[in-house]
Structure 1
Amino acid sequence: MPDKTLRIPTPDGQADAFAAFPADGGPHPGVLMYADGFGIRPVIHEMARELAGHGYYVLVPNYFYRHGPVPVLELPEFIGEEERPGVFARVLPMIEAHTPELVLRDAAAYLEFLAAQPEVSAGRVGVTGYCIGGLLAVRTAAAHPDQVAAVAGFHAPVGAAGPEVFSRITAEAHFGHAESDLTTETLAELNRALDAAGVSCTSEIYPGTVHGFTMADTDTFDPAALRQHWENLVPLLGRALPRA
């Protein structure tokens, strides 16, 4: 699966990015993928390639570019119980500094860049994200309803977006939650808010999972849940982003 490293012009500089796409040159529908809080690394490259293999041009921006290019942080090859506190201590300040205003300023630049790639077909795109990246995906879909046809988030703090953001989403959505992240009561509350806002979506807990279940380089990885994630994400994009 071909891939390349790119630089995306933004109002605040240039964001480095990873892109994966089918070998036939396209054009193919575009998908903006937001990594989890640990950022772009080999497991994210593999997930982008996997999605590209289903017929999409997948762009993964380094949304922490203001702190430096990838790797923004030197990470262990495997993030387990012992490594996690130290990694989180370095990641959380960057997440907190990435305000909704910066998210939206960057999102507009990312979508403009994605649409301009010669391998990307005309029309609306999909946006997906993991952990905090899922919240960025939701904010992007809400800010650009005319450009985003599908949005997904996995083990993501979707509820932090709130009803006002939900009300601006026109994309079809899927949210796959970790069982450790919210109770069935909290899920029901979130789903009532999504329904009240008119969001067409499925929003469900993946049984037996803990936060970070899609990430194969962590001790929270769940292979069955990763498969379930693909079984929801790929059909969602197929419905929303039809081929020419």
Structure 2
Amino acid sequence: MPNIVDTVTTADGACTIHLFTPDGQETQGPWPGVIMYPDAGGVRKTFEQMAAKLASYGYAVLLPDVYYRNGDWAPFDMASVFSDEQERKRLFAMIGSLTQDKVASDAGAFFDYLIARPEVVGARFGVCGYCMGGRISVTLAGRLPERVAAAASFHGGGLVTDTEDSPHLLADRMRGTVYVGGAENDASFTKEHAEQLDKALTKAGVQHTIEWYQAAHGFAVPDNAPYDEAAAARHWEAMTEVFGSALPS
């Protein structure tokens, strides 16, 4: 897939982004825009490949370096990051640095960038994410409802918490479609969390789907140990179904 590497100016600096678009003469743009948010490991080869795959379905996909405030940060080894105490501390420090205000501010700049690109059609977009990125996607549906036409979260954690910044508390502000793909036996998104989220979205009149995958947390990301090929295939189907019905053509 064509891959443009660029920078987006945000309130806090310059964020490196990749913009992937469909390949081949038979696919002529412009295309609906989507922001893909990575899991806690951040942007790496796996996510470049995933963004390119999503683009192949007919989307202009922006993949941002969500950790750009950390400068030229060293990539994480996803096979060992959670067992290496120092790396685990570094990872969680970087995750904790991404407040709702920061991700919403960044997303506003990303959406402005997409609007200005000739490859992109429309002024409302899709957002999707994995693990940490799943929480970001649902959060943005509530924080930037005028920009988010559809949000998809896959094995996203922290969608329902006891804190005042819990994404489910933003349900009454959401205008787009919300899809949540949960993993089995995932302490970060349990059956009880799903029930609370469903009640909040239903009460707010948000079109939504919560689907359970018979796979572990991390099932959709190829370099995660729990990656599950069948579940990953279903997640691509689900995401393109949601975006296909909600995004401008």
Following superposition, the deviation at residue 27 of structure 1 comes to 0.8
Q: Is the 8 A contact 2:181 2:235 kept in 1?
A: yes
Q: Deviations over 1:65-123 (max 9, x none)?
A: 00024xx32333xx33x443324322110111111111121111111111111111123
Q: What is the TM-score when the length of structure 1 is the normalising length?
A: 0.91
Q: Deviations over 1:139-192 (max 9, x none)?
A: 222122222111111111222434431211110111001112244333223212
The one-letter code matched in structure 2 to 1:6 is D
SS in 2 for 1:233: helix
Following superposition, the deviation at residue 56 of structure 1 comes to 0.4
Change (3 A) 1:123 1:205: same
1:106 is aligned to 106
Q: Does 1:166 align with 2:179?
A: no
| Distance (whole Å) between structure 2 residues aligned to residue 92 and residue 197 of structure 1 | 32
| Distance (whole Å) between structure 2 residues aligned to residue 19 and residue 38 of structure 1 | 19
Equivalent residues, number: 237
| Distance (whole Å) between structure 1 residues aligned to residue 140 and residue 195 of structure 2 | 24
Q: Does 1:11 align with 2:11?
A: yes
| Distance (whole Å) between structure 2 residues aligned to residue 62 and residue 229 of structure 1 | 23
Q: Does 1:210 align with 2:232?
A: no
1:119 is aligned to 119
The one-letter code matched in structure 2 to 1:198 is G
Query: Unaligned stretches of 5+ in structure 2?
Result: none
**Any residues of structure 2 matched to 1:124-135 within 5 Å, and which?**
124-135=124-135
The one-letter code matched in structure 1 to 2:222 is A
Q: Is the 8 A contact 1:129 1:137 kept in 2?
A: yes
| Distance (whole Å) between structure 1 residues aligned to residue 237 and residue 114 of structure 2 | 25
SS in 2 for 1:123: strand
**Any residues of structure 2 matched to 1:1-244 within 5 Å, and which?**
1-23=1-23, 24=27, 26-69=29-72, 72-76=73-77, 79-80=78-79, 82-86=80-84, 87-157=87-157, 158-160=159-161, 161-181=166-186, 182-207=189-214, 209-243=215-249
The one-letter code matched in structure 2 to 1:225 is A
The one-letter code matched in structure 1 to 2:49 is E
Q: What is the TM-score when the length of structure 2 is the normalising length?
A: 0.89
The one-letter code matched in structure 1 to 2:237 is E
